């Protein structure tokens, strides 16, 4: 249930309504918009709509018909902007996150961070704990990988996103990263999502490989209902009958999410396409469709990558894509990091 307060409602009136809702067994999430306060009452209690409607300072009470509540546009009509330092995800600017699938060595992460920074990425990506389909595949460097990623990100003044696979990894990832990535395979790891609801850093929530948009938003609800308002959704491709690409990047999910939810949504064309020659086309399409950002795999020597080499772009391809996005983004009223960053010396 959403309680929309009058524009002139006093703090005392708001607090009174909050107290009554809590008495009714509800959890109350407050959203203070530009002009008025909105209260989201969720939980297993029984909120008496008629009673709340008659309380002083209440403008209207709306039942949220969607199963997800705090993630819905009914609860919050304005777009959520997730901030990481001075980076704003969900604002006018299209934010690009890029880097290798996995951290492999110091030299590899340093080279990748420098390449993506030069091209205009704002956030460095890289996995240290890897969810691999086979237990015999490279599983990531663990904490050592996080340290390498952080050092490389710091050297290039980039923020850092890395995947958390399990509750036991939250503490160590929190020490090194700015954003927790929840991978497709963990989208319905509800214990992990609940725990991340108490984290103080944003959560990048990938869509599960066969999840509906409703299930995906319900997973976001787990994080939001724990009190963490900073969820970024990421469309990364779903499994369909098609085998020509690794997954089917559901571009239509972007406008659907924009309609149903206030949360920012980005796209991952790398896992979507699974082939580097198709990543740029899918990235262009995602931005044109209204994505708030992209997360892209880039590797300086993808043929020798320990994971996802086939879908990792060469730095030169990534440079070209960024130049194309500088044309597409303004055409739909968005901005993007304007110029490639100056190179640090000749021949680099
Ligand atoms: C990744 O980002 O490297 C990854 C494993 O992604 P996903 O969870 O989308 O497969
Ligand atoms: Mn990958």
- The CA distance from 268 to 234, in Å, is 7
Q: What is the pLDDT of residue 341?
A: 58
∠ Cα 110 284 180 (to 5°): 45
- The CA distance from 310 to 315, in Å, is 14
Mean pLDDT to the nearest integer, 211-215:
98
Query: Would the CA dihedral through 235, 214, 334, 199 be positive or negative?
Result: negative
| Ligand 1 geometric centre to CA of 183 (Å) | 5
Mean pLDDT to the nearest integer, 187-211:
98
| Ligand 2 geometric centre to CA of 98 (Å) | 11
% residues pLDDT > 70 (the chain): 97
Q: What is the pLDDT of residue 56?
A: 97
Q: What is the pLDDT of residue 273?
A: 97
- The CA distance from 27 to 21, in Å, is 8
pLDDT in tens, 229-271: 999 999 999 999 999 999 999 999 999 999 999 999 999 999 9
Cβ of residue 116 lying under 6 Å from some atom of ligand 1:
no
pLDDT in tens, 3-43: 999 999 999 999 999 999 999 999 999 988 778 899 999 99
Ligand 1 pocket test, pick from 130, 140, 160, 163 with the greatest ligand atom count within 8 Å of Cβ, gives: 163
3-state SS class at 319: helix
In terms of Cβ atoms closer than 10 Å to its own Cβ (0-12, 13-18, 19+), residue 21 is buried
Domains located in the chain, CATH noted: 2-62 (3.30.70.1140), 82-336 (3.20.20.70)
pLDDT in tens, 283-303: 999 999 999 999 999 999 999
Q: Of all protein residues, whose CA lies closest to atom 8 belonging to ligand 1?
A: 183
pLDDT in tens, 300-336: 999 999 999 999 999 999 999 999 999 999 999 999 9
Burial annotation 88-115 (CB, 10 A radius, 16+ → b, else e) = bbbbebbbbbbbbbbbbeeebbbbbbbb
How would you classify the pairing of strands 2-5 and 37-42? antiparallel
| Ligand 1 geometric centre to CA of 288 (Å) | 23
347 confidence band (pLDDT: 50, 70, 90): very low
Mean pLDDT to the nearest integer, 111-118:
98
pLDDT in tens, 34-71: 788 999 999 988 999 999 999 999 999 999 989 999 99
Report whether pLDDT(129) > 90.
Answer: yes
Ligand closest in space to the Cα of 164: 1
343 confidence band (pLDDT: 50, 70, 90): low
In terms of Cβ atoms closer than 10 Å to its own Cβ (0-12, 13-18, 19+), residue 298 is buried
340 confidence band (pLDDT: 50, 70, 90): low
| Ligand 2 geometric centre to CA of 68 (Å) | 29
Helices (H), the chain: 11-23, 49-53, 106-119, 143-155, 170-176, 190-196, 213-225, 253-260, 269-273, 276-288, 315-331
Q: Of all protein residues, whose CA lies closest to atom 6 belonging to ligand 1?
A: 183
Which atom of ligand 1 sits closest to the CA of residue 236?
Answer: 9
Which atom of ligand 1 sits closest to the CA of residue 271?
Answer: 9
Which helix H or strand E contains 124, and what residues bound it? Answer: strand 123-125
Which atom of ligand 1 sits closest to the CA of residue 127?
Answer: 3
% residues pLDDT > 90 (the chain): 93
Tell me if 120 sits within 8 A of 340, measured CB to CB. Answer: yes
Q: Residues 252, 255, 260, 263: what is their CA dihedral angle, to the nearest 10 degrees? A: 110
Which residues make Cβ contacts (< 8 Å) with residue 110, sequence separation at least 6?
A: 151, 152, 155
* Pairwise pLDDT comparison (218 vs 342), residue with the higher score: 218
Mean pLDDT to the nearest integer, 175-197:
98
Q: What is the pLDDT of residue 344?
A: 55
Q: Of all protein residues, whose CA lies closest to atom 4 belonging to ligand 1?
A: 183
Q: Of all protein residues, whose CA lies closest to atom 1 belonging to ligand 1?
A: 101
Ligand 1 pocket test, pick from 271, 274, 313 with the greatest ligand atom count within 8 Å of Cβ, gives: 271
∠ Cα 164 169 174 (to 5°): 80
Distance of CA 286 to the CA centre of its chain: 14
How would you classify the pairing of strands 58-62 and 2-5? antiparallel
Tell me if 227 sits within 8 A of 256, measured CB to CB. Answer: no
Give the strands of the sheet with 58-62, arranged side by side: 27-32, 37-42, 2-5, 58-62
| Ligand 2 geometric centre to CA of 166 (Å) | 17
Cβ of residue 131 lying under 6 Å from some atom of ligand 1:
yes
Cβ of residue 206 lying under 6 Å from some atom of ligand 1:
yes
Q: What is the pLDDT of residue 32?
A: 83
Query: Would the CA dihedral through 158, 164, 170, 172 be positive or negative?
Result: negative
| Predicted TM-score of the model (pTM) | 0.95
Q: What is the pLDDT of residue 318?
A: 98
Tell me if 267 sits within 8 A of 237, measured CB to CB. Answer: no
| Ligand 2 geometric centre to CA of 102 (Å) | 7
337 confidence band (pLDDT: 50, 70, 90): confident
Tell me if 49 sits within 8 A of 92, measured CB to CB. Answer: no
Rounded mean pLDDT of the chain? 95
Cβ of residue 236 lying under 6 Å from some atom of ligand 1:
yes
Tell me if 262 sits within 8 A of 69, measured CB to CB. Answer: no
């Amino acid at each position: 249930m959403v309680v929309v307060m009058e524009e002139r409602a006093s703090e005392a009136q708001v607090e009174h309504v909050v107290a009554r809702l809590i008495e009714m067994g509800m959890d109350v999430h407050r959203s203070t918009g530009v002009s008025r306060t909105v209260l989201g009452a969720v939980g297993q209690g029984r909120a008496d709509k008629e009673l709340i409607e008659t309380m002083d300072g209440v403008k209207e009470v709306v039942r949220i018909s969607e199963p997800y509540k705090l993630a819905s546009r009914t609860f919050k009509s304005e777009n959520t902007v997730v901030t990481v330092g001075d980076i704003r995800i969900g604002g006018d600017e299209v934010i690009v996150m890029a880097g290798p699938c996995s951290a492999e060595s110091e030299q590899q992460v340093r080279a990748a961070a420098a390449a993506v920074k030069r091209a205009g990425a704002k956030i460095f990506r890289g996995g240290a704990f890897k969810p691999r389909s086979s237990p015999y595949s490279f599983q990531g460097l663990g904490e050592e990988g996080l340290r390498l990623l952080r050092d490389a990100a710091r050297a290039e003044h980039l923020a850092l996103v890395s995947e958390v696979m399990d509750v036991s990894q939250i503490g160590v990832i929190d020490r090194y990263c700015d954003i927790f990535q929840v991978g497709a395979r963990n989208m319905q790891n509800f214990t992990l999502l609940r725990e991340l609801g108490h984290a103080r850093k944003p959560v990048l929530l990938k869509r599960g490989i066969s999840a509906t948009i409703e299930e995906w938003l319900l997973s976001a609800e787990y994080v939001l209902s724990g009190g963490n308002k900073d969820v970024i959704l990421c469309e990364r491709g779903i499994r369909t009958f098609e085998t020509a690409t690794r997954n089917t990047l559901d571009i239509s999910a972007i406008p659907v999410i924009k309609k149903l939810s206030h949360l920012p949504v980005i796209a991952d064309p790398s896992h979507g396409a699974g082939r580097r020659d198709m990543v740029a086309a899918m990235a262009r399409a995602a931005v044109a469709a209204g994505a708030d950002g992209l997360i892209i795999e880039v590797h300086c020597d993808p043929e020798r990558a320990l994971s996802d080499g086939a879908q990792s772009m060469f730095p030169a391809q990534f440079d070209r894509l960024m130049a194309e996005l500088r044309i597409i983004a303004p055409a739909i009223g968005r901005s993007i990091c304007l110029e490639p960053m100056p190179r640090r010396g000749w021949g680099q």
